[in-house]
Amino acid sequence: MSEQPASDGPEPRPQPETSGVDLARVALRAAKEQARARGAAAQQKKQARRGGLRSGARADGRDPLPLGAAINRLITERGWETPAAVGGVMGRWPQIVGPEVAQHCEPAKYDEDARVLTVQCDSTAWATQLRLLAPQLVARLNGDLGQGTVKLIKVLGPGGPQQRYGRLRAPGSKGPGDTYG
């Protein structure tokens, strides 16, 4: 028995000989590419002599943009999409949580690394209420901003009363630590 070598695919067909018309097409294509390359080089030399690119009739990257488009382009180039979106949420806080909640609770800051939104409330009752509403609020914010933008809402209650030492006190003083800090 004789073994025949296994072929990896169909046997290659013999190439037909190129005729004069095909040769002319190939030569024309090569000549056009060479002319295009010479023209591009000549254009670059001309621009270098003139002192660089000049404005023309067609739009390019140097043309003026409307302010909104320029700001959107800057936000995209710098990677500020998430902070800008969260800043928009802070501006639209009453529409997101409702006017009654917004009257008593306001967003204080957003930690982009931990994805935590800190909210300050004016009473402990509202802080407790917002802690109960936090899961629904996180879902609403992530639906508006994109999934995973806010992972946790940290709710702060009102601050305690200011420490007052003695009957007489200078306005703006922070007590004995004021002189050493």
Closest CA to 93 of 69, 68, 120: 120
**115: alpha, beta or left? (left if phi > 0; alpha if psi -120 to 50):** left
Q: What does DSSP assign to residue 62?
A: T
Question: Bridge partners of 107?
Answer: 119
Q: 3-class secondary structure for 96-159?
A: HHCHHHHHHEEEEEEECCCCEEEEEECCHHHHHHHHHHHHHHHHHHHHHHCCCCCCEEEEECCC
Helix (H, G, I), strand (E, B) or coil at 82: helix
The model carries a pTM of 0.50
Q: What is the pLDDT of residue 155?
A: 92
- The pLDDT value given to residue 154: 92
Q: What is the pLDDT of residue 37?
A: 84
pLDDT tens, per residue, the chain with 181 residues: 555 555 555 555 555 566 677 778 788 888 888 888 888 887 777 777 766 666 667 777 777 888 988 888 888 888 887 777 777 777 888 888 888 988 999 888 888 888 898 999 988 889 999 999 999 998 988 888 778 888 899 999 887 666 666 677 667 666 555 444 4
